[in-house]
Amino acid sequence: MSINTDFLKNRLKQLQSRKGVQANVWKPKPGETRIRIVPYKFNRENPFIELQWHWQFNGKNLVSPTSFGESDPIVEFAEKLRATGEAEDFKSAKDLYPKLRTYVPIVVRGEEDQGVKFWGFGITIYEALIKLMTDPEWGDITHPNTGRNIVVEFKTAKESGKDFPQTSIRPSPNQQKLTSDAKVLKSLLNDQVKITDVYNVLSYDELKDELESYLNSGSDTESSSTGDEVDTEYDSVEDSSDEDLDAVMNEFDDMIED
């Protein structure tokens, strides 16, 4: 019997992917943490990255290609089920559609040396951030020179007195430079990874194989350690800068105008 090298290569890919997630994704810890949303290198006009996820599908968390306007065999199958008009098929189809989770590139204050990470959150925090960023009284909170920090407060289920943990945000009233070090600033703005380098995106055929496996297994969605780790905590909202540096800022502004 020979060694299954294809299996080992795939397992290595999975392990490396998990390391990428751990190194590049930030999750709130109990208490308050100050962060700064920074411009996304790959889309200077919009820091928000929307990913559609198949949660615990076949024991894995899978990014849907619909996140990028591409075909998804799982969604196609769901559409076929929905088209039957049967109540049971309609319910099954609903469970197969991907769910939205949004990400922004951030820097954790006091940990700038760790570079830019991605913070993922649900619809409540997403809506709150959009309202904040479109309010002229706050201005562009992501701007490296005149932006603002955000305080993220995380409470465990026990602390919140509910069945789930909660996350709330509030913006800092004071504007603050991302950094006064031109070299660090340039690194934070330019040395970023794509979200697709953090979360593995399967091809159409690979997702089709996952779908077939899902159907053949009787739709067993028991948790697996081989899928991407995705933070799904509940959200709540709380009402609530020398010549070298200037040169980097001018370069940044030019990128926005292009």
CATH at 252: 3.90.198.10
Question: Hey, what are 20's tokens?
Answer: 């990428």
Question: Hey, what are 108's tokens?
Answer: 């954790």
Q: Which residues of 93-106 are buried (b: 16+ CB within 10 A; e: fewer)?
A: beebbbeebbbbbb
What residues contact residue 251 under an 8 Å CB cut-off, 6+ apart?
186
Distance CA 173, CA 168 (A): 16
What residues contact residue 155 under an 8 Å CB cut-off, 6+ apart?
30, 165, 166, 167, 168
Q: For residue 229, give the DSSP letter.
A: P
Report the pLDDT value the prediction gives residue 239, as an integer from 0 to 100: 39
Report the pLDDT value the prediction gives residue 232, as an integer from 0 to 100: 57
Predicted confidence pLDDT, tens digits, the chain (258 residues): 677 777 776 666 655 555 556 789 999 999 999 999 999 999 999 999 999 999 989 889 999 999 999 999 999 999 999 999 999 999 999 999 999 999 999 999 999 999 999 999 999 999 999 999 999 999 999 999 999 999 999 999 899 888 888 999 999 999 999 999 999 999 999 999 999 999 989 999 999 999 999 999 865 444 444 456 666 555 554 433 345 555 555 555 555 444
Nearest to 150 by CA among 195, 101, 106: 106
pTM: 0.81
Q: Which residues pair with 101 in a beta bridge?
A: 51
User: What is the residue type of 8?
Assistant: L
Report the pLDDT value the prediction gives residue 4, as an integer from 0 to 100: 76
Classified as helix, coil or strand, 126 is helix
Count the domains in the chain: 1
Distance CA 239, CA 176 (A): 21
- The residue range of the domain holding 94 is 5-257
Burial of 65 from C-beta contacts in 10 A (0-12 / 13-18 / 19+): buried
Report the pLDDT value the prediction gives residue 256, as an integer from 0 to 100: 44
Report the pLDDT value the prediction gives residue 1, as an integer from 0 to 100: 62
Four-residue CA torsion sign, 133, 134, 135, 138: positive
Q: How many CB atoms lie within 10 A of CB 58?
A: 23
Burial of 164 from C-beta contacts in 10 A (0-12 / 13-18 / 19+): exposed
User: What is the residue type of 24?
Assistant: N
Can you give the length of the chain in residues?
258
